[in-house]
Amino acid sequence: HLELCVWMVVMVAGCESLTAGTCADQSPKVVSTSQGKVSGILEKSVSGKIFWSYYGIPYAKPPLGQLRLRDPLPAEPWSGIRNGSVEFESQPCLQVPFRVAVEGIKLKPQQLVGTEDCLYLNVFRPTVASFKQLPVMVYIHGGGFLAGGSVEYEPHVLLDHDIVLVVLQYRVGVMGFLSTEDSVIPGNFGLKDQTMAFRWVQNNIHNFGGDPNSVTIFGESAGGASVHHHILSPKSQGLFHRAIMQSGTAISTFGVGTGHRQVAEQVGVSMGCDTSLGSSHLLACLQTLDARNLSATLQNFFEWFISPLAFKPRVDGDFIPAQPAQLLKDRQYKAVDILSGNTHNEGYLVGYPLYIEKNLQESLLNNFSYVGPLSLICCEGSSDPLSITKRVYTYYLGGLNFSFETQKDQIIQMFGEYHLQVPQDFTEVLHYHNDPSKKVFAYELVHRGQLSQGDFFVPLLSNHYVTHGDDLYYLFRGGPFLQPVPSIPGRPYDLQREVDLRVRHFITTMWTNFATYGNPTPDNSLGFIWEPVSENFHHLAITSTPKMISNKRKKSGDFLKTLPTLQNFILFPDKVTSTVIKAV
């Protein structure tokens, strides 16, 4: 151990003069895993701390050929030393990039990005030698279950702290979530990939200085929903110990879907497969097709914006044993401590297309009976989605003759609360009531920093909104979620303002404290205390001066409980009504 410590000190000393980036001239440290050895590279955090990076470690067999649309299998051993000093060309799983999808651009198959051989993860660890294993944080990216990858999530911010960070990627879109609703193509492959990565962490992370008994999984958007699915799934129990859900839960509107068999048959027909011969024949046909051609069929299902999201998790009776709402109601899961929350204006990501695509406005106004429910991804399991949609629009906008110009804030509030914020509130309260021995820490990001996801779309509209995904700028460098980052004159690549860096310090410290201690503010060193959820449902408003505030969405939550949706019939049966609710 003494020789290792001395060697590491020498290595770090030789790297201190480099600017932020890689220390490419240093000899890599080799780590043994259960599949083989992998070399790493030294990099610098945003504050100048040196850390080791190990890129592109396989955690499952490549899902190719007869493994396409099948459950993942453990990675096979390799001989020699695998080069983990490059981001293995940074290939995400095959996809239509999220930014392209939301901008309504339809790509040709050859324009899709990524590769089918994509089940890899990255590991980052401090260089500081320690006899104590460090807490582990495992990140699951978002992207609507149709896009995203590990390259978007740079480690240089979180590695200012003493944690081991793992960033994984998983199958998305057709390859990740197509299902025939039977045992032939059961679906949920993307979630199962994540669980396979968790198993890899349990078996290997001690070799990287991480503590397999202190693993926190965290994710944003579809990644947050994924985290919640793992809390509820019997297949992931015992593989992690704490959970962070950012802007997404299993009961968000995109958390689970229906109609997978019909979607699978539509994909098959579009690709020339005979769907009349049963699931096994369809699988065999789909496994022979060009991967890009098959993945590109996802775009055929976009009808309004990116709705409906045809490739989502499904209740399969196995990985997801029942409706997430039912699992919550029945308390059929192993409780863990939870940190959960939203951004202040989540709905901007859904609302902004209305202000750059006038045809979306026209279709919503002129064909509301069809487009209205699409705009709300409404309503899984409901027999009358149109009446539910009308009630929502009436509550928030006063009816169907609303103004896109004068009711921007209300439109964004509607989309944000319906899709994300109120389901997140419900999730936090349900876990608090279900699991009194565990703590739930709720937050809302209110600070509007210099950088926002809205910058890429309608900057003049977004300059005061804290939109979906803005929390990621405080955890990761650059432009996560919407890669590749377009060049905007005068827009820096990373946070620069002192006030933004202050908020970043708060967030990264609280997130890593939670991963370490199960409490984001174990003492008063940040100047405030984040209290866990209790009966009054206070939550932390994250600003440059964070403070606890009361629930501002109680009225909206009470209204949304009255809608006759499958979820509400399970969770709030005594609240559901069929009457029209008076507008706000």
Residue 215 covered by a domain: yes
Q: In the chain, how many domains are there?
A: 1
Residue 510 covered by a domain: yes
- Which domain CATH number covers 437? 3.40.50.1820
How far from 529 is each of 190, 301, 523, 558, CA to CA, in Å?
37, 46, 7, 29
Residue 551 covered by a domain: no
The predicted structure's pLDDT at residue 482? 55
Handedness of CA 357, 358, 363, 364 (dihedral sign): positive
Residues with catalytic function:
221, 346, 468
Residue 530 to residue 100: CA distance in whole angstroms = 38
How far from 515 is each of 117, 439, 566, CA to CA, in Å?
31, 13, 34
The predicted structure's pLDDT at residue 486? 60
Residue 543 covered by a domain: no
The predicted structure's pLDDT at residue 94? 97
Residue 577 covered by a domain: no
The predicted structure's pLDDT at residue 113? 93
Residue 542 covered by a domain: no
Residues spanned by the domain of 125: 2-537+557-571
Q: 286, 268 in Cβ contact below 8 A?
A: yes
pLDDT in tens, the chain (584 residues): 333 333 343 344 344 333 334 443 345 699 999 999 999 999 999 999 999 999 999 999 999 999 999 999 999 999 999 999 876 556 899 999 887 887 778 899 999 999 999 999 999 999 976 668 999 999 999 999 999 999 889 999 999 999 999 999 999 999 999 999 999 999 999 999 999 999 999 999 999 999 999 999 999 999 999 999 999 999 999 999 999 999 999 999 999 999 999 999 999 999 999 999 999 999 999 999 999 999 999 999 998 888 889 999 999 999 999 999 999 999 989 999 999 999 999 998 878 778 777 788 888 989 999 999 999 988 776 778 999 999 999 999 999 999 988 999 999 999 999 999 999 999 999 999 999 999 999 999 999 998 888 777 666 566 789 999 999 999 998 766 555 556 677 788 889 999 999 999 999 999 999 999 999 999 999 999 999 999 889 999 999 999 999 999 999 999 999 999 999 999 999 999 975 444 43
The predicted structure's pLDDT at residue 95? 95
Residue 63: closest CA among 168, 153, 182, 192:
192
Q: 15, 44 in Cβ contact below 8 A?
A: yes
pTM of this prediction? 0.93
Residue 387 covered by a domain: yes
Residue 581 covered by a domain: no
- CA torsion 251→253→256→260, rounded to 10°? 160
- Expressed in percent and rounded to 5, the helix, strand and coil fractions of the chain are 40, 15, 45
Q: 176, 298 in Cβ contact below 8 A?
A: no
List the beta strands (DSSP E) in 141-268. Answer: 164-168, 210-220, 242-246
Residue 85: closest CA among 36, 137, 22, 140:
22
Residue 41: closest CA among 6, 87, 77:
87
Residue 130 to residue 21: CA distance in whole angstroms = 24
Looking at the DSSP bridge assignments, the partners of residue 138 are 166, 217
